[in-house]
Structure 1
Amino acid sequence: MSTSPFRLRNFITLLVTFSGLVMTVSGFVLYVVPEGRVAYWTDWTLLGLTKEAWGSVHTNLSFLFFLVLVFHLYYNWRVLMAYLKDRLRQRFTLRRELAAALVLGLVVVGGSAAQWPPFLQVMELGAAAKKAWYAGEDVQPPFPHAELMPLAELSRRIDLNLAAVLAVLAEEGYPAASEEVSLKNLARRYDVSPMQLFETVMADDRVYR
């Protein structure tokens, strides 16, 4: 039974389509994802992926899209040039369309940079969506990137008794191998959020000096 040959052009076209679709989804997710300090503190996920994972997917798919687009243009360069020459022979029949596309693109870029309506409202809608995930809840960390600090430094920063912090964590089923482990790494080890560990510690009066 013979197999059909691998068609590189078809592969490139399908890859451009796939990466474009996934980038659209990941871009929308990043548009509505909670702010970084909240997402990392609460270990926010969507479809099983964290904010960091969604950012990684979007960034790497962007690079893939760029690379396959270059190959797509390379393999279809003759077709593209023939099309443009044909248009030229037809006395620039696409002049109005080209001008309209350039104007619209420049308006979107310029309006977004200057934050003109309705581009400003689009960003405000995204900001509202970010806050809606935890509306009415106190999910702010004690300070930015608190989850990245070692337990010893975290305790010093907010004036907690380190020995009591370690004892409470151990009693609640989250023993730390070292006072230098970060809240984030400890949370990942026990499949909880940094916020949950922090609230567990802060609920015990022994941690206060």
Structure 2
Amino acid sequence: MEKNKKNFNWRGFTSLYITLSFIIMAISGIILYFAPPGRVANWSYWRFLGLLKSQWQAIHTIFTFLFIIAAGFHLFFNWKPFIAYLKTKFESSIKLRKELIISSLVVVLIFVMTINDSVPFKNVMDFGEELKDSWSTQKTEPPIPHAEDLTIFEFAKTINIPVDELKRSLVAQGFSIPNDEITIKEIAKQNNISPNDIYNKIKPNNNQLNQPLGEGRGYGRKTLSEICSQNNISIDVALSNLKAHGIEAKENEKLKDIATRYNLLPIDVANKALGIKKESE
């Protein structure tokens, strides 16, 4: 009795793999479109469908690279049909010269408008930024960006607490602190909690309103009214503070737009609106 032996179909494998990879790339890309900024995601251990943002980023990156490699193999296995297809399309494109020129111009136009931040592509990017920024609250923001990577000594200095006092507070909460060089992220990992959970347990109660705001916290995407609301200051006071610096603004205007108009950084606009002076001022 003859046994039918079927060889592995590499052409079919690459075709199916490319299809499945594309689906995963599309899903992970959509998730990363609305995922919070890294400073918030890494600090609060943000998850979607059980996976951290860093894991979604890894999935998207790895599957993109493998998709390109698989596409190369797919082209190799289908080289003859591909060449025949190109010849056919080239011959038909002569008849569709007008369509070819217009489609090429459309591609170039989209490319140029995208890199120049033009409408409507600007709206797509702004909407994504708004979705990302919606995850950012006073409870989820770290004291400084990527504070989870700070050692106990560095973190104590950042939140203005003596390192010995911070260590005693953490030990009293049941955390093990072997030395000053252990990072907040390492402590969180050992206890299966987020760095934000640790911070909430030992957060100082002192009012930090008069301290300059830290950079890299997404201030450019916030409106002036949002900054005022988060820092418990009247919008009228903020507008008055800005006017004292020669800055005219509207309450629903984004800080990045105000900053661009006056050749400033968004963080500088925020500090001036809140009446906060830097040490150099």
Short-chain TM bin: 0.7 to 0.9
Match of 1:113 among 112, 115, 120: 115
Q: Which moved more, 1:157-166 or 1:55-64?
A: 157-166
SS in 1 for 2:58: helix
Q: What is the letter of the counterpart of residue 144 of structure 1?
A: P
Match of 1:20 in 2: 22
Q: Which moved more, 1:137-146 or 1:22-31?
A: 137-146
Q: What is the letter of the counterpart of residue 156 of structure 1?
A: K
User: For 1:29 and 1:53, how far apart are their aligned partners in 2?
Assistant: 11
Asked whether the equivalents of residues 25 and 64 of structure 2 are also in contact (C-alpha less than 8 Å), the reply is: yes
Match of 1:65 in 2: 67
Q: CA deviation at 1:94?
A: 4.5
SS in 2 for 1:124: helix
Tell whether 2:138 aligns with 1:145: no
Provide the alpha-carbon RMSD of the alignment.
2.1
| Structure 1 stretches lacking a partner, 5+ long | none
Q: Deviations over 1:57-97 (max 9, x none)?
A: 11111100110111111111210111222344557344445
Asked whether the equivalents of residues 93 and 100 of structure 2 are also in contact (C-alpha less than 8 Å), the reply is: no
| Structure 2 stretches lacking a partner, 5+ long | 207-281
Q: What is the letter of the counterpart of residue 87 of structure 2?
A: K
Query: Looking at both structures, which has the greater relative contact order when contacts are Cα pairs under 8 Å and sequence separation is at least 6?
Result: 1
User: For 2:139 and 2:92, how far apart are their aligned partners in 1?
Assistant: 64
Match of 2:232 in 1: none
Q: CA deviation at 1:188?
A: 1.5
Aligned pairs for 1:168-183 (under 5 A) are: 168-183=169-184
User: For 1:35 and 1:109, how far apart are their aligned partners in 2?
Assistant: 25
Match of 1:158 in 2: 159
Identical positions, percent: 31
**What TM-score, normalized by structure 1, do the two folds share?**
0.88
Q: Measured at CA, do residues 172 and 6 of structure 1 come closer, stay the same or move farther in structure 2, by a change above 3 Å?
A: same
Asked whether the equivalents of residues 87 and 94 of structure 1 are also in contact (C-alpha less than 8 Å), the reply is: no
Q: How many residues align?
A: 204
Match of 1:74 among 70, 73, 76: 76
Q: Deviations over 1:121-180 (max 9, x none)?
A: 00111011112235x543221111111010111112332122221222122222223221
Q: Measured at CA, do residues 183 and 91 of structure 1 come closer, stay the same or move farther in structure 2, by a change above 3 Å?
A: closer
User: Which of structure 1's runs of 4+ aligned residues deviate more than 4 A?
Assistant: 88-91
User: For 1:72 and 1:154, how far apart are their aligned partners in 2?
Assistant: 51
**Between Structure 1 and Structure 2, which shows a larger proportion of helix residues?**
1
User: For 2:93 and 2:152, how far apart are their aligned partners in 1?
Assistant: 71
Match of 1:86 in 2: 88
